[in-house]
Chains A and B, each alone.
Chain A
């Protein structure tokens, strides 16, 4: 802590304790966070990042464990960030992804970090992507990012990873569910986990029909997401899933898709950071003095609507700031 540059240096050389501390500092939005990101950013951009998402209890963590095993078996250095939800009331969290990890991890070159989603609602934590960068800068070649258990529209993982694995179960729904927009559309690879249970085949067919329609609508797509039937706990279908993930990776590499994806992700991240920064500056420098309390009574009495009130507050804030200069 006393010596931030040394901490960063040690993390870049692969020291786990320093890496863990850097992630904490970034997660807490410590004043040191911008400096850390500035220092590690040049060392990032090449790791292959895989997002694992799907409903709660689908088996994401168990699949992650099996994938880590497969990647490590091929001598890759792996980083995992597993996100679980936080309480909206206390901010506390029970992070239970690590419990699915194999007990004997001695032979694995893996760094596993649990993360609370905090107030973020998109399936990831605000700091997930930057934490992934810390892991990459410390020498991790493959980064797995596991989202909180999601419903239909928590899609942040697609903005943070190269390949998105959507994990479903035979109970995930009928053919109408498979027609809906959102989560199912962002998959590069599907896993129907717990496929030893009844219903896996019909779910697979419903997904195929959905994908067929996409093909008809959009011409021949350059990548049709494969559907893998797996059972993570029974160890079924895992080599096939592993192969499908690498196929997608190779596909991204062969075409210009990988570069395009990563560039558009950076573009989106920049946009988002500009907006966050603007909001921060406006709050601190312009709206700092505004008394919001008086407005609440007006809103409550239906004398003014929230949008009009917000516009007046901001306009008044700007007028005051520019007037005083």
Chain B
């Protein structure tokens, strides 16, 4: 089997908003990725999943204001497990200043705010893992 991008994706902490994370998960699947969907999880379990699933990417959905605390914690804990190669993406609702700070100061690889075209997310992820996007077959 060819190399697939493996993404572990979770709703961060107790965030109950599900529509965005469902949509993104399915678009990534349709783009040829293997998406391990975790539902609601805290950083400890997310990092454990990234470890066991040999993830390339961790995707975190946050719309409830926990992004500045739990997001950086995931990055930190990945580092402690020697998983620095795993790229952490975040998506959801947050102040643009926070998004910028997450990227520049807290090691989040990329934050996608509302209205981001799905193709942009897909392309960004394939580019960051460094494998070509597969062409759909009939």
* Residues of A near any B CB (own CB < 8 A): 16-17, 20-21, 23-24, 27-29, 86-96, 98-99, 103, 105-106, 111-114, 116, 118-119, 126-127
Contact = CB atoms under 8 A, between A and B. Distances in A.
Given A20-B54, A92-B30, A92-B31, A98 B4 contact: no
B34 A95 contact: yes
A113 B30 contact: no
Nearest to A104: B45
Contacts of B4: 28, 91-93, 116
Interface stretch (B36-44, B66-74, B99-107): B36-44
Interface of B: 1-4, 6, 25-26, 28-42, 44-45, 48-49, 51-54, 81-83, 134, 136-138
Given A16-B51, A98-B38, 9 more contacts: A20-B53, A23-B54, A90-B136, A91-B4, A92-B4, A92-B34, A94-B26, A94-B35, A95-B37
B45 A89 contact: no
Contact of B34 (A89, A116, A127): A116
A144 to B, nearest CB: 14
B32 A91 contact: yes
A299 B54 CA distance: 45
Q: Does more than half of chain B's interface fall in helix, strand or loop, or is it mixed?
A: mixed
Nearest to B37: A96
Nearest to B134: A91
A91 B2 contact: yes
A99 B29 contact: no
Contact of A94 (B29, B39, B40, B81): B29
A89 B34 CA distance: 13
A28 B37 contact: no
